[in-house]
A and B are shown apart, each in its own frame.
Chain A
């Protein structure tokens, strides 16, 4: 149990375009989903926390208008990187938990490369 999937697993896009990444909890209902960004050889940095049906809470320094997060159902959250630039190239990982204080189960990540 506790499987989280992400789609796509990798994406290459041109600078200025927008990219949507999906995060799904396959066998449980995720009240809370988290989005992380990981640069090469670095740790995971939390970008935002989203609760189903509510607006996401963004960490300091993360632009909410650039990284649009939607958590419309208990099994799906999406992260849209708008007007992507090469510096947005990174490994984006989501996690999901049944409620805010339960364990987080991580997806396999999405590697974004912006040319």
Chain B
């Protein structure tokens, strides 16, 4: 299947700091999604992006659909302890109904 690479693999930050993570692929996707997964739980959708160049916010979260359609980034501003978890990007290609998930970024917020 398609490989979506996320970086960084893990992050340790102080509460209140901003966070940036990205997701890249060698293939083009027409939809990019960002999910958060807490331990022992299923992923929860944070932001969905449908157009190249689109910039979308959800509270303290902002995500952008890369202009090349091969990448996306997620920013979290003013991090808080409950932001801890694993963040996954996921992409869907034109005409397909399945998602390809990224390798994940594990975020730890130090109070």
Taking beta carbons and an 8 Å cutoff, which residues of A are in contact with B?
4, 6, 32, 34, 42-46, 49, 59-60, 91, 93, 95, 97, 100-101, 103-109, 111
Closest chain-B Cβ to A108's Cβ sits at a distance in Å of 5
Taking beta carbons and an 8 Å cutoff, which residues of B are in contact with A?
1, 33, 35, 40-45, 48, 88, 97-104
Closest chain-A Cβ to B34's Cβ sits at a distance in Å of 12
New A-B contacts (11) at CB < 8 Å, excluding given A103-B45, A103-B48: A43-B104, A44-B101, A45-B1, A46-B98, A46-B99, A91-B40, A93-B42, A100-B97, A104-B99, A106-B43, A106-B44
8 pairs, CB–CB < 8 Å, chain A vs chain B = A42-B104, A43-B104, A44-B43, A46-B98, A60-B1, A95-B42, A108-B42, A111-B40
Closest chain B residue to A10, Cβ basis: B40
Chain B residues in 8 Å Cβ range of A105: 45
Closest chain A residue to B100, Cβ basis: A46
Chain A residues in 8 Å Cβ range of B88: 43-44
Closest chain B residue to A91, Cβ basis: B40
Chain B residues in 8 Å Cβ range of A109: 40-42
Instruction: Given A43-B88, A101-B97, answer yes or no on A107-B1 (Cβ-Cβ < 8 Å).
Output: no
Chain B residues in 8 Å Cβ range of A108: 41-42
A46 touches B42 (CB 8 A): no
Closest chain A residue to B102, Cβ basis: A43
Chain B residues in 8 Å Cβ range of A101: 97
Closest chain A residue to B44, Cβ basis: A106
Chain A residues in 8 Å Cβ range of B99: 34, 46, 104
